Structure 1
Amino acid sequence: MTTPVPGAPRILLVEDDEVIRETTQLALERYGFPVDTAGDGLEGLERFRAAPPDLLLLDVMLPLLDGVGLCRRIREESRLPILMMSARTEPIDVISGLEAGADDYVVKPFETAVLVARIRSVLRRTSFEPDQLSPAAAAVPGPAHPVRVIDDLEVDTGAMEVKVAGRPVPLTPTELRLLLEFTAAPGVVMERQTLLERVWDYSWGADSRVVDVHVQRLRAKIGAARIETVRGFGYKLRRTP
């Protein structure tokens, strides 16, 4: 077994297929990631609660508690990055996983290099280092005014906190990055590909449904009227009526 790199992010892999579970674990360990495993959804939930990992990698189709249900349960307790794996590419399967709270997904079978690239991308965008944000999102209104205010929406770019009408709104790291892009340029239409590049760090073609579902989740938390769909182009942040 390859010795994990000291300080490397720890991954919890939840996969019921023993062959896939073992080969994926070995492949990730060759890249230096320490990997814990579970063979079903309930075991995955137990392992998560006993020793929360830095990233959760889980299959959609799991016994006892499926991946969507597990993702939803963990989202109630944690904002840790979640990457889902699925051999099913139907829109309903992809959307169900994302709506449950997953940050991204990868389709099986996959090359290890592709999986590792997705893992590293998810981990980068959960760290909130200023040099890892896009220039627009990283910019703040001024040293004395790090809070962006649009109507009753407040985004503290220093503390990385969001409030609506004075009430704290918990966002996942991906949702917060998405909101930072919108609040950096209110009224400006953001194309889906632009958001994929800035928020998900994808410079290659990727599934725009990831953007659509995260926008839907963000709307549910900050108010649907704030983010307008511009058909054929993308989305823009607007002031509420």
Structure 2
Amino acid sequence: MTERKAVYYGQVELIPGIVCDGYVLDDDTAVTRSRGTAELLGMDHMTLNRVETTWPPKTLKPFVDKGLSVETTLVKVVAKNSPHKGRKIVVYNSNIIETIIRTYVMASGHNALQKNQLHIGKRCSILVCALTRAALEASIKQACGLTPNIQQTAQKNYIDAVKLIKEFGFTCTAGDDIAIKKDITQFLNVPEGTLNSFLRKHKSDIQPIRLNSATIRSFGGKASRMNGYHLDDVTKIALGMDSVIGIELKKQVFGQIGSFAKPDTSAEV
């Protein structure tokens, strides 16, 4: 078998903050490095590595085309601008990535995912929405003679949830898109204890911002210490909690593809 070579390299950022190493092989196949693929799909890297031998899991089998397998490819990097030049790396082509995304979305729509798979289904559903909108917008602009930036378009559609939460009436007390717990509990109509429990569970994903005394006093706060939360993290909280307004937000963002439970930080295929 001919050894494939990665001849072109670039960084792919479809979701803000998640950067994947992208390559084009000498046979014109578009691929991403395995670690970046795992982060894009919201999976643990080691879990994704096991996909080749364990695919499809029992829960996903009804939603996979018969005879379709998920295979990785070992390629040699020759792209001059790649930090991995001269090394052999494991990559996934775009067809395989699309297969994984589509399978999880279909399984999610049928409420067939296990608890430790729900967060992957949620991520894949967001990707489908963002990429579909990006493809439509790019196709129309290209037909009109323009040169669209696909990555920027995909990122814009991914973060539409932040815009949507504002349209639902959410306001930030601390200004500059920084909210306090009271803003969040009132918006979601949940007890502070419920919010605190969620924040403890997802402390690795949601980072509080320590507010200084001047900021606290600016909105009439009397506490000596207080945390704020950026609007991006507020959006994660709203989409992750099954409050009435959170469920409505999920319907708006993900469409009518099924209900999504709270994302689980454990990562299994």
The TM-score, its normalising length taken from structure 2, stands at: 0.29
Higher Cα Rg, which structure: 2
Pick 1 or 2: higher relative contact order, CA cutoff 8 A, min separation 6.
2
Bigger helix fraction:
2
Query: TM-score if structure 1 supplies the norm length?
Result: 0.32
